[in-house]
Chain A
Amino acid sequence: MIPLAIIALATLTANGSRQLRYSAVALLGVSLAANFVTAGQLSATELAVEGCGALVACGILYVAARDQTYGEDPGWRLWLATIVAAAATAACFATLRTANAETPSVPLFGEDPTGVTAQVASFWLLSSGVAILVTARTPVRGSLGALLMITGVELLVRLLDAPQLGLTVLLAWLEVVVALAGAFLIVNERAVREA
């Protein structure tokens, strides 16, 4: 439950920040908390791969910002994204919940064998990402939304009863490529704006 709260707060911080560098640090917090939620489902190698992917992706965004001030003021988009994400998370959990337990036990801290926490976290990240991405004006918030969604996808994939190493490597690469493409667009957008 506590990692879930950290994910929610870090998502709000990343969403609400006017500086890309703060958003990148908050994104790293989201990824670390997400890794903690599903630590029991992955081997040490897989966790390391996912952690490295998240670290590199957030590092790329941090460097792409170039200085402390660069970013995008979310304005009303912050509230819209938060309201949409909260409503969509509840709706998704009601209709698409696949965790088997009749009365899910949600431990305050530690492993979550039923996967309920991971599923709620993934729905929250996906719906936050959709809301941010759809209302984004520049690549700054576009990259943020895309990375939140990829983190949500990683959580969902970890819940599958299937071999994970290949998928973990692939999704970690995807996270890095999303960050690279986003950073490339951020740099270009800034060049256009400053011309």
Chain B
Amino acid sequence: MTIVAAAPLVLGAAACISFAFRKRLVIVAPFALAAIAAAAGLVLDVPPDSNGTLLDLELRVSPLGQLAALVILGTLLLLVLDVWLDEPAYNFFPTALAVGATALGVLVVTAPLAIFGLLVLGLLVPVGSFTFQIQRNRSVEAATRHFAFVALGGSLGIASLALSQSLPHDQPANTFVLLAVVLVVAFALLLAAIPFHTHAALLAGEVPAAALALYFGVLVPTTFVAFAEILTLSGLLPAIVQVVKVQDLLHGIGLVSAVGGAFLASGAPDLRRLVVYSVISNLGAALVGMATLSGPGIIGAVASVLVTGASASGQLLAAGALERLSAPERPIASRAPLAALAFVVGGFAMIGAPPLLGFPGRFFMELIAYQFAPVTGTALVLATLLLIVGQLRAVISLFGSGAGHWVIERRPIAGIIGGVIFVALLIGGIQPEGFLAPIASFADEFLKAMRPL
């Protein structure tokens, strides 16, 4: 065992310990924060490209892995802080730590099967935090559907990966294509890409906002990065390049998700659904970026997904605070002005508005999409316009009642967290090199894996 695995192991151990005293909020919340901070310190302490082994699994800290780990840990820290101070839920803390452990594990393991296994493990962990007030809502049904989608996608994905690794070299190309298609569909299930988004839609309506943020802010970006890493490490890329069908499938699923998600977001009936459909749309655009199999497309896709995760977390926490403080009426800004402001600025990041960090990724994706096919580029621009419409509708709905009697929240945690995320994205947008360089280094590896010597 080496220091490379220290951060996920620390989080895993902390998850087990925190489960033991999960009902003592005064202890478990600071403990979770300390564990996340310690894990962040360990991630920063390991030099990029360090190697190690755990059992017989090879480990490596890639620059992208380090960047994604820090983004994920930062998001987790804010989520834990919010749940502790604003919306206490005792089972959230061990869940968040376990999710962090598996996400960091996904980022350091180099065996595609192990990456996939850890990912499925991480996606199953939040099932416990999805269910609440089970007599009054459909959260059990939502969690059950999520469980089924993850089990189905995870098992089919791991099986197709295992089969592709055991195929003899003289196998017909069609067999590789079939397995790659199953792998892509498995990831579409896990990413809730349209038309496999029904569980995400149900989750959006029924589960607590913090648990939703844990899924869409941490696990969905991790799933996308894992997909890119698995494609790079599995050796399937040369076959995908040779046979265009898989690329077309990826492209098709991406486009349907980008435009379909944006359509659904533009007519979303509430704030949570707006955020969830916006995430699905951005993931679709990122799949299109990846389907171009080009450097800018991959950089744009990964950058966009990481920013989408952070901004979705901020928006979902703000939506939760607005719903809570405005209940039983519809959410309005006068009941929680800071949370409303956080929701609006989170929306800027979600649509990739300059000068925020979401802009470079979206710009790269749309530019390369135009080069790939003008129709694709136009569709992505249309998706962005629809997302803007959706976010504007939310702003009008929140602030439409005018500046009557505004009451600043007594505990403006969601507002402050939204502000922190906005400032981080603004600083990153002004100085994007530090964020984009590790992603560019991963894009190089991806391109090399496409055409091995």
| A residues neighboring B (CB under 8 Å) | 95-96, 98, 100, 122, 126, 129-130, 133-134, 136, 138-139, 142, 145-146, 149-150, 152-153, 156-157, 159-167, 169-171, 173-174, 177-178, 181-182, 184-185, 188-189, 191-192, 195
Contacts and interface: CB of A to CB of B under 8 A. Distances in A.
Contact of B134 (A100, A170, A188): A188
B168 A177 contact: no
Nearest to A147: B151
Interface residues of B, number: 40
Contacts of A133: 148, 151-152
B426 to A, nearest CB: 39
B392 interface: no
Contact of B165 (A160, A169, A177, A181): A160
A96 B175 contact: yes
A189 B144 contact: yes
Interface stretch (B41-49, B114-122, B412-420, B445-453): B114-122
A68 to B, nearest CB: 23
Interface of B: 54-57, 111, 113-114, 117-118, 120-121, 124-125, 127-128, 131, 134-135, 140, 143-144, 147-148, 151-152, 154-156, 158-159, 162-163, 165-168, 171, 175, 178-179
Contacts of A95: 175, 178
A185 B143 CA distance: 8
B124 A98 contact: no
A74 to B, nearest CB: 16
A139 B117 contact: no
B147 A156 contact: no
B135 A195 contact: yes
A192 B127 contact: no
B168 A153 contact: no
Contacts of A152: 155, 159
* Best-surrounded residue of B57, B117, B155, B178 (most CB of chain A within 10 A): B155
A167 B155 contact: no
B162 A157 contact: yes
A124 B128 CA distance: 30
Contact of B158 (A146, A157, A195): A157
A175 to B, nearest CB: 10
27 contacts: A95-B178, A98-B167, A98-B171, A100-B168, A133-B148, A133-B152, A139-B144, A149-B159, A153-B158, A159-B166, A160-B113, A160-B165, A162-B111, A165-B55, A166-B56, A167-B57, A167-B117, A170-B114, A170-B117, A170-B121, A174-B121, A178-B124, A185-B140, A188-B134, A188-B140, A192-B134, A195-B135
Nearest to A145: B151
Given A126-B156, A133-B148, A170-B114, A165 B131 contact: no
Contacts of A189: 140, 144
B123 to A, nearest CB: 10
A142 B148 contact: yes
Contacts of A164: 56
B166 to A, nearest CB: 5
A149 B159 CA distance: 9
A130 B135 contact: no
Contacts of B163: 96, 98, 156
Given A122-B159, A133-B148, 10 more contacts: A133-B151, A146-B152, A160-B113, A164-B56, A166-B57, A174-B121, A181-B147, A184-B131, A185-B143, A195-B135
B117 to A, nearest CB: 4
Nearest to B127: A181
Nearest to A189: B140
Given A189-B140, A192-B134, A130 B55 contact: no
Nearest to A150: B155
A145 B143 CA distance: 16
Nearest to B163: A96
Q: What are the 10 tightest A-B residue pairs by CB atom distance, in nearest-first order?
A: A146-B151, A163-B56, A149-B155, A166-B57, A166-B55, A156-B162, A181-B127, A170-B117, A98-B166, A188-B140
A185 B111 contact: no
B107 to A, nearest CB: 15
A105 B118 CA distance: 35
A129 B147 contact: no
Contacts of B114: 166-167, 170
* Best-surrounded residue of B113, B131, B151 (most CB of chain A within 10 A): B151
A129 B148 CA distance: 11
A126 B148 CA distance: 14
A148 B58 CA distance: 28
Contacts of B144: 138-139, 142, 185, 189
Contacts of A159: 162, 166
Contacts of A150: 151, 155
